Structure 1
């Protein structure tokens, strides 16, 4: 009988069950991390990790007094975690009861996309009306690190107010491009390579040539607001789409950035306009 049980433990079925078990545990931990991401619980988890490492080190180096102190504290750690993480645990249980726990990641991604589009569209609309020149390049698969290094590092949360403020004339960072990397403003005042194509219209200035230049060597999406006319253009894959209205602009950027179109819940610029007009 022991031999038979031993064979069962190493059967393909048992191996498959073990793999599924490990994947499920990993998935649960992943979901828990996504829930507490961006909350104070992240910092508390770092503190707990430090305590665990310290406890291991006390055994390695024979620090008996410190080990005794930690042994008095750690047994009540589970209760402390429940108390400390009470808001996050309550939120997770509420989402589980509503059946939203596993859909949360997709919902968060959609909310973040809408927020980014609203911030960029609002800032572009503002600058276009006032003929404030702007150049915004969004990194996709091809890295833009070498161009980020030519500017002033920011690593900032994207808001329409910040983007507008960067391009206000006569401010230190208005001349050059803003580069967005991983949904954050990586740097401002960056230098982009100018296109050397002989087919570019003579009426296009340096901003448009730089936007075309970066689109010829990377897959970045670049947004241009003309200082002379206030016209909005977008370059991608060596092509330029000129004189876009706000609806066309948002649809184009959303399609090439997120691979989606403007739907009933994604018309951020029109929501903003309605709020502005009361």
Structure 2
């Protein structure tokens, strides 16, 4: 059951995403304004080119503190921009004093795997060369899956160093076989049919098959050892719930450091869609405390 306050604030009647509906979904992306980015003057932003990947760089107007954050936006692998999600996440910059960098990675189905994760990893290497060292890699939904993938790439390729990964309702498993991936067919913000559309756009006929790379679907990684400090959170009313819980559990089993939160009554993206709800405020405050411990 979705938290009643969130249910009253969020449109739960949106039809599932289809391939034919991707252009409309992109056209209806929430537009984050300059005023939302600057948060009444506590944040400044500039555009940059990260080796061919357009990025948005948010900086605090005061002193920079702690490691930078590479944040990868959501959108089911098929939608979103470098401004997506930042109407809420700019508070990391204003409250913690971190620099946040958000890339405009290429989208499926026009640019299937490995294009999106290559753009995100390219941004990470650009950050290293430009003094933004040992970042926290964070992401929301599809961006959470990409953040997990980039962190695996950094481990497997020998860098750049990553100080932590923060995975918000992450999209991790193309097999879509967990109980929660079958549980939510309608009446919530991201349902099974939408999930299948996003994964198929990214992977085509390979989706669910034996040869999918963990850099496309991080749940496929056989070895989750050697990862940096990890924060995973997800709502209880989310198709991604069980794969998120499993990912954190497997990090523990591999001897790693993971913090897991399952927010009761939270639907997919609840804190972005209803940022003033009490549950959303608790979730965001808990993430900020974890980020503060890393910084």
| TM-score, structure 2 as length reference | 0.23
Larger Rg: 1
Question: Larger relative CO (CA 8 A, sep 6+): 1 or 2?
Answer: 2
Q: Return the structure number with greater helix share.
A: 1
Q: Return the structure number with greater strand share.
A: 2
| TM-score, structure 1 as length reference | 0.24
